[in-house]
Amino acid sequence: MESVVDAIPISLRGELSKRLIDIVLGAERRDSIPTELAKKIIYLWRQDQLASRAGIQALLEAALMVDAEATFQVCESLGLKEVAVTLRNL
């Protein structure tokens, strides 16, 4: 997952984090996110670090768990087609 996050330009991380948060919070399956991952996301949110490398990685993991297809679509809509392809193959 780290190499995937490294492939995301810093300039897109803020917008990507906002869209991933929407996926995570809006998903019916949001209860399927492990407690530790949810705590990590909350901690990073409180530290204003959701657009950081660690924040994007945590949000990607959570978004893939609750709605993988929406996560792929968000990546593609931001021009991150290679990231979407890599995520599909994880």
Residue ranges of the domains in the chain? 2-88
Dihedral sign of CA atoms 5, 10, 12, 15 in order: positive
Angle at 21 between CA 67 and CA 87, to 5 degrees: 45
pLDDT at 51: 97
Q: What pLDDT shows up at residue 27?
A: 84
Distances (CA, A) of 8 to 5, 32, 33, 54, 79: 5, 26, 23, 12, 10
Q: What percent of the chain has pLDDT over 70?
A: 100
State the pTM of this model: 0.93
CA 44 to chain centre: 13
Rounded to whole angstroms, the Cα distance separating 61 from 83 reads 13
Per-residue tokens: 71: 């996560």
pLDDT band for position 90 (cuts 50, 70, 90): confident
